[in-house]
Amino acid sequence: MNAANPSSVVATAEQLIDSWELVVGLEVHVELATKTKLFSGSANRFGDEPNTHIDPVTLGLPGALPVLNRHAVELAMRLGLALNCRVQPCTFHRKNYFYPDLPKAYQVSQYDQPLNVDGFLMLPGDVRIGIERAHLEEDTGKSTHFGGAEGRIAGSEYSLIDFNRAGVPLVEIVSRPDIRTSEQAKQYVSELRAILLAVGASDAKMEEGSMRCDVNVSVHKPGTPFGTRCEIKNVNSIRAVGRAIDYEARRQIDIITSGGAIKQQTLHWDDAAGRTNVLRTKEDADDYRYFLEPDLVPLVPDAAWVERVRAALPPLPAARPSWP
């Protein structure tokens, strides 16, 4: 592989189909269109002065207790129903890791009992992409790195953290590994964005970070088990989703055909250079040491509430008539 010329490392669906199969799964993080954060009364608003929407819950100060935002739950249910999910009783867990933009040293998320499960999204050509889950969680703060050549923490002189985004309600939509081409992946993100806008769950502005994609890519020979997957973090445009998949597929094929083995890694997509770079070894769920959030009771949406949300759904993009 010519690392100096990443544009040479490109695989389209047509180039792969003869001897390799591509497998893609997407994890899309969507900020919900609430006025306040998921567990506190601080404003959920983009573009304000740094660290002006913070509070004891956001900062994880001792004794601060979370209060669940009912509107965030309703928006998450609305999105789940629009994605043909089953809304079920759910619990919240603490996902433990140590990043500077996570002041509590854990993220409140959902683990083995998410709010929405077993949905699907239809693509043009009657292609069905399964939705494994669409669960509620809180966002992290935003780190900005200064002094480095690429605006990343590696090589930077110092970093500043804005906690305005910490605690903003998110839904993470996890697809099943049903996507087989980069074009399907772009269609999936486009259709999902249209649904988000139609139901009013989010403004889905990828340029502002209110919709962010993590892309899982693996390749394998037909008739063999799925290959080792690598995850590309925070891909921030539909075009970049396609480019990142094409590059990563070709990179993995070149490694395998050269006698190497794919390592399970978390990667960063450098859109300007058109290539992926290694961030870290990929974590497994056990690394996060999930345990039940003791300050939040289980959430049990009753059938009447779910049906009220379903009845209030607007016509969805796929259901709208197409005019000649």
Dump pLDDT digits (tens) for 153-190: 667 888 999 999 999 999 999 999 999 999 999 999 99
Helix (H, G, I), strand (E, B) or coil at 98: coil
Which residue is it, tokens 């961030």? 279
Cα 200 from Cα 78, distance rounded (Å):
9
Residue 224 neighbours by CB under 8 Å, 6+ apart:
none
Entry pTM: 0.90
Spans of the chain below 70 pLDDT: 1-18, 149-154, 282-285, 319-324
Q: What's the token pair of residue 3?
A: 């690392």
What pLDDT score does 259 carry?
96
Which residue is it, tokens 């690392």? 3
Cα 291 from Cα 209, distance rounded (Å):
28
What pLDDT score does 4 carry?
41
What pLDDT score does 280 carry?
80
Q: What's the token pair of residue 171?
A: 């839904």
Cα 256 from Cα 264, distance rounded (Å):
14
Which element (helix H / strand E) includes 212? strand 211-220
Degrees, nearest 5: CA angle 10-11-12: 125
Rg value, the chain, Cα: 20
What pLDDT score does 107 carry?
97
